[in-house]
Amino acid sequence: MELICSKKLELNVELDCKTKELYLEYYLIACESENFCTYGIQISMAKDNGESETAVIHDILSSKENMIELIKLLYSNSVTPVSAYDVICDCIS
């Protein structure tokens, strides 16, 4: 597993008049088997209140370079673990 991108998001919550922080990390994961390798992603999100979520999706693409480009696209759009699967399906279909 290799960390590709990470970011901190600050969200303004109007009801509380407070700023909440989210920390996102996007990892490249490799799945090797008998002379063949596929790549996937792990997206981890930590909230400032201590809660966390993680999505792990294996076997998305067979090209490491293309997978890194997809990870960068997800990063630039701040895709979270809860929506990762649907967004990836839309991107590669």
Domain positions in the chain:
2-92
pLDDT digits (tens, 9 = 90+) for 14-29: 666 677 889 999 999 9
C-alpha to C-alpha distance for 45 and 40, rounded to whole angstroms: 17
Cβ–Cβ < 8 Å for 50, 41: no
pTM above 0.85, yes or no: yes
Q: pLDDT: is 45 or 19 the higher one?
A: 45
User: How many whole angstroms separate alpha carbon 39 and alpha carbon 83?
Assistant: 19
Tally of CB atoms within 10 A around 24: 19
- The pLDDT assigned to 34 comes to 83
